[in-house]
Amino acid sequence: MADVQPLRALRYDPAVVGPLANVVAPPYDVIDAAQRAELLARSPFNVVAVDLPRAEPGGTGGQGAQDPYAAAGELFDSWQAQGALVRDDAPAVWAHTQDYTGPDGRARTRRGFFCRVRIEDYGPGRVRPHERTHPGPKEDRLRLTRATRANTSPIFSLYSDPRQAAWQALAPATGRPPWAEITDSDGTVHRLWRVGDAGAIAAVHAAARDAELLIADGHHRYETMHAYAQEIGGDGDHRYILMCLVALEDPGLTVFPTHRLIGGLDDARRQALAQALERDFDVVEVPVGEIAPPPGRGRLQLGYIDGREQRPLRLTLKDQAIADAALPGHSAAYRQLDTGVLETLLLKNALGYSDEDVAHFNGLFYARDTAEALAMVRSGEYDAAFLMRPTPVEQVRDVAAAGENMPPKSTFFYPKLLTGLLFNPLGDPGRSVS
């Protein structure tokens, strides 16, 4: 069972740093160099300086650039010494809402809460992943964790709470003005309330106590923290990780698709792909406005467009038995997973992509918007696009419950959480930075 606890958060003091909107940032892995510079121009205290460290000139003794992780750790310490970051005197959970308009144009509110959760091995009844990871980002995050001795950004996880008991306990606190209210560049309004009431905390703990947690976003950081906890050993704050928990039953929880773009299609690969489509799929031309298939489960449906012919097509798998035969070692839930079937039947079997290619995006690109995907094909930047259905939340849970991980970019949980609202200190086991 999950060990969900309140935390003594480390957080910005607006009296020192100014408006919180100037010091928070999107997740580090969606920030490019130009956006990083723009965020730093807002405030020298912007979290991106720590969460996305970069080598700066002027290393010790004048010998090149300073180690970026060591610099991030020193900066994080200096913010605490200046009072820019302050530690709560007592533990609390933090109610969190996000008012947003999704890529589908619908307005929604997603509700959750920040807490700390004891780090466990993946497994039934505790914590489950849903996507595959690769080592590069984990090494980066491990070096940052060693340097800062803190979680600088939260893990986004799901749990089942059919009666919404946790949110009912937190809802009264949301009737007062929030501690933070920030509108991000996408127009999402993020609000945060500190809840220190012992009764509310007990109710939240009871609601989540028997839950299995499903990581929605932050697999690399969770696995990094698991490695860090093992590295430090013993017990203590380093055994807990900062999470934002959202109920699977929350009406504001949505998953949107991530489309696949293909490059490097020579004549041989085009022919192999054409043969696979003819053999395994019913192919129908559709209006370009209908190229993205509607949400649903069952036999795989894809939109497809090739840069040469520019014909918008709808691909429907002829028979589920085709996917079952191609994925004999997988669960029934995985064999009905659009991204899993596409990866095996078309990317690997027809086009010859390897696991390495898929993991490192070799010849692949991912777009979260149909118009973006079409534009990249029409411009010749990529040769073809597969337009995906969104993966239903229930299917994410079913695949994870079967002990399997989805291909990368199988889900697009929107909106993202902000980095910098809260930090989770991990104690001070030493300054081992490598």
Task: Give per-residue pLDDT as tens, 369-390.
Answer: 999 999 999 999 999 999 999 9
Q: Tell me how many degrees the CA angle 249-253-256 measures, rounded to the nearest 5.
A: 135
80-105 average pLDDT score: 96
Banded model confidence at residue 428, pLDDT cuts 50, 70, 90: confident
Q: pLDDT tens digits, residue range 407-427? A: 988 999 999 999 999 999 998
**What burial class does residue 224 get, using C-beta atoms within 10 Å of its C-beta: 0-12 exposed, 13-18 middle, 19+ buried?**
buried
* DSSP-based three-state secondary structure for 360: helix
- Delimiting residues of CATH 3.90.1530.10 domain(s) in the chain: 4-254+415-425
Tell me: pLDDT of 60 over 60. Answer: no
Alpha-carbon distance 321 to 336, whole Å? 10
Alpha-carbon distance 79 to 45, whole Å? 8
Alpha-carbon distance 270 to 407, whole Å? 23
**Do β-strands 313-317 and 301-306 pair in parallel, antiparallel, or remain unpaired?**
antiparallel
HSE-CB for 199 with a 13 A CA cutoff: 5
- Delimiting residues of CATH 3.30.1760.10 domain(s) in the chain: 256-410
Tell me: pLDDT of 44 over 50. Answer: yes
Among 159, 197, 152, 153, smallest CA distance to 4 is for 159
Q: pLDDT tens digits, residue range 183-196? A: 999 999 999 999 99
CATH 3.30.1760.10 for domain 256-410: yes
Check residue 352 and give its pLDDT.
94
For domain 4-254+415-425, which architecture applies?
A: Alpha-Beta Complex (3.90)
Q: What are the angstrom distances between the C-alpha of 210 and each of 115, 119, 223, 318?
A: 16, 15, 22, 41
Decide which of 429 and 8 is more confident: 8
Check residue 57 and give its pLDDT.
58
Average pLDDT over the chain reads 92
Backbone angles phi, psi at 303, to 5 degrees: -90, 150
Check residue 271 and give its pLDDT.
96
Q: pLDDT tens digits, residue range 267-305? A: 999 999 999 999 999 999 999 999 999 998 889 999 999
Q: Which two tokens stand for residue 302?
A: 């894809």
Q: Which two tokens stand for residue 252?
A: 């504001």
